[in-house]
Amino acid sequence: MKSKVKVFPHNDLFNLAHYHREQMNKKLESGGRDGISLDCMSCLIALAFTVEALVNLVGHKRIDKWKERDGYLKKMNRICSKAGVNFRKCVEPYKTLWELKEMRDSMAHGKPVEITTEIKSREELKEAMECPWDKKLTPEYVNHAYECVKKFERTMFENCNISVIDAVTSSVPLPRKI
């Protein structure tokens, strides 16, 4: 049987982000914090990937000669223009989307840091050992970022006339030739 198959990864990635966000929020509600930074990190990584997949979905569906390999800013500007909005790194939700992209890049291309420094307190030691993304590993930031990605998705779908049903992984059997 022949079928037309459509695979849209943003759904799975957003579900992954949702799962980790739920785990994080459940821990908060129960007063537990064990591993919460890891839940935050996993959610933020999934959100960064979700944004990239959403950008490629909108580009694929609405922009002629879409180039998935183009740079993030070029692609983001193209789909935002198509949606009638401006991508500005200093305005929400785009500020947070840019932060997710930068965080993703710093994680994916993690570079070792070796420094010699004078430490006077435990707090200074903790600061000296931080990764660039550590300050963002908070439930407040994760919930904010999740809502920004959700808003971005709604804006793109509404302004580019993409229905949710047309953005879900699916297959449709094709009629048999007799």
Instruction: Give CA separation, 108 vs 5, 115, 173, in Å.
Output: 30, 21, 39
Domain spans of the chain, in order of start? 7-104+139-164
Residue 113: what pLDDT? 84
111 pLDDT tier (thresholds 50, 70, 90) = confident
Instruction: Give CA separation, 175 vs 5, 170, 178, in Å.
Output: 14, 16, 9
Residue 61: what pLDDT? 96
Residue 178: what pLDDT? 74
Q: How far is CA 20 from the centre of its chain?
A: 13
User: Is the previous residue joined to 93 through a cis bond, with omega within 30 degrees of 0?
Assistant: yes
Question: pLDDT above 70 covers what percent of the chain?
Answer: 100
Residue 88: what pLDDT? 96
Q: What does the pLDDT average to over 96-117?
A: 93
Could you tell me which residues come within 8 angstroms of residue 89 by beta carbon, excluding any fewer than 6 positions away? 95, 98
User: Could you tell me which residue, 22 or 33, shows the higher pLDDT?
Assistant: 22
- Global confidence as pTM: 0.91
**Alpha carbons 153 and 158: distance in angstroms, whole number:** 8
Residue 32: what pLDDT? 85
- Which tokens hold the place of 21? 């966000």
14 pLDDT tier (thresholds 50, 70, 90) = very high
Q: How far is CA 140 from the centre of its chain?
A: 16
Over the chain, what is the mean pLDDT?
A: 94
Torsional sign, CA 95, 104, 53, 140: negative
Q: What does the pLDDT average to over 136-161?
A: 98
